[in-house]
Amino acid sequence: MFKKVFLLLFFWTCKNPNAELNTTTNYQLSKPSKIWEMPKKLVEISGISILNFPHILSINDEEGKLYDYNLETKDLEETYKFGKDGDYEDLAITEDAIYVLKSNGTIYQIKNFKKKPKVETFKTFLSEKQDTEGLFFDADKNRLLIACKEEVEIDDEDYNVIYEFDLNTNTLEKTPAFTISKEHFKYKDKKHDFAPSGLAIHPKTNTLFVISTVGKLMIEMSLDGEILNKYNLDYSHFIQPEGIFFTPNGDLYISNEGKKDKGNILRFDYINK
């Protein structure tokens, strides 16, 4: 029996490129404290953000609509149209506007979204080639952080990059705010995929969390760009993690696109409150 268990563990360790990742975290990522199954309209949920808790806004990656979902009642309460159908990836909420990110790097600013939406479009130098996936509002610096799924080459080395969109000037800075070397995701000299799909700054630790559907990983970074931790996201819970936000007390929420099943939102309680 011992021999069988040993062989099983050996096989798993060799095959699992995440075996050496950190497991110490302020969240029990294998045990969500609550799960919300999304309605049919949000099977392809691709972004989530707090509107007025327990109300959250979400989008799917096919329609130009904002969805007001109540986490307390588990009801999809309102739907607000802001644009044509398209590949929308994430959203962020500021005091006076909603921002939506398209996969081609275009940003939509939506004001008065509940009654008569006023939409302004900002084109950037990014395109579908970079495949922009993650959007987050950094209130301290009044900027939007934009995570690109596809890597770029800098000085003959591959990096994942996160750009910043200055909300004072409504321009995208050409120099990335964060660069993530692919060397961080090598296992026994083999590169393990990491392609950002969502990001958020933790309200308690002031660190940046980035999730990746590809490779099922989550990393934690300092705002100086240093990778502090890497975590495995088990497939049994994270079928396709796309959206992420934190509540002010540090609880973590991650949304999964549904593929063949229903989309969902998972909550993980912050242990070190």
Question: Are 186 and 200 spatial neighbours (Cβ–Cβ below 8 Å)?
Answer: no
Measured CA to CA, the distance from residue 55 to residue 73 in angstroms comes to: 10
Question: Are 226 and 182 spatial neighbours (Cβ–Cβ below 8 Å)?
Answer: no
Q: Which of 1, 49, 93 is nearest to 247 (CA)?
A: 49
Average pLDDT over residues 144-158: 92
- The predicted-structure confidence for 136-146, as pLDDT tens digits, reads as follows 999 999 999 99
Q: Map out the domains of the chain as residue ranges.
A: 35-268
pLDDT of residue 109: 99
CATH 3.40.630.10 fits 35-268, yes or no: no
- The predicted-structure confidence for 205-252, as pLDDT tens digits, reads as follows 999 999 999 999 999 999 999 999 999 999 999 999 999 999 999 999
Measured CA to CA, the distance from residue 42 to residue 65 in angstroms comes to: 11
pLDDT of residue 192: 57
pTM over 0.85: yes
Is the pLDDT confidence value at 190 over 70? no
Average pLDDT over residues 79-83: 96
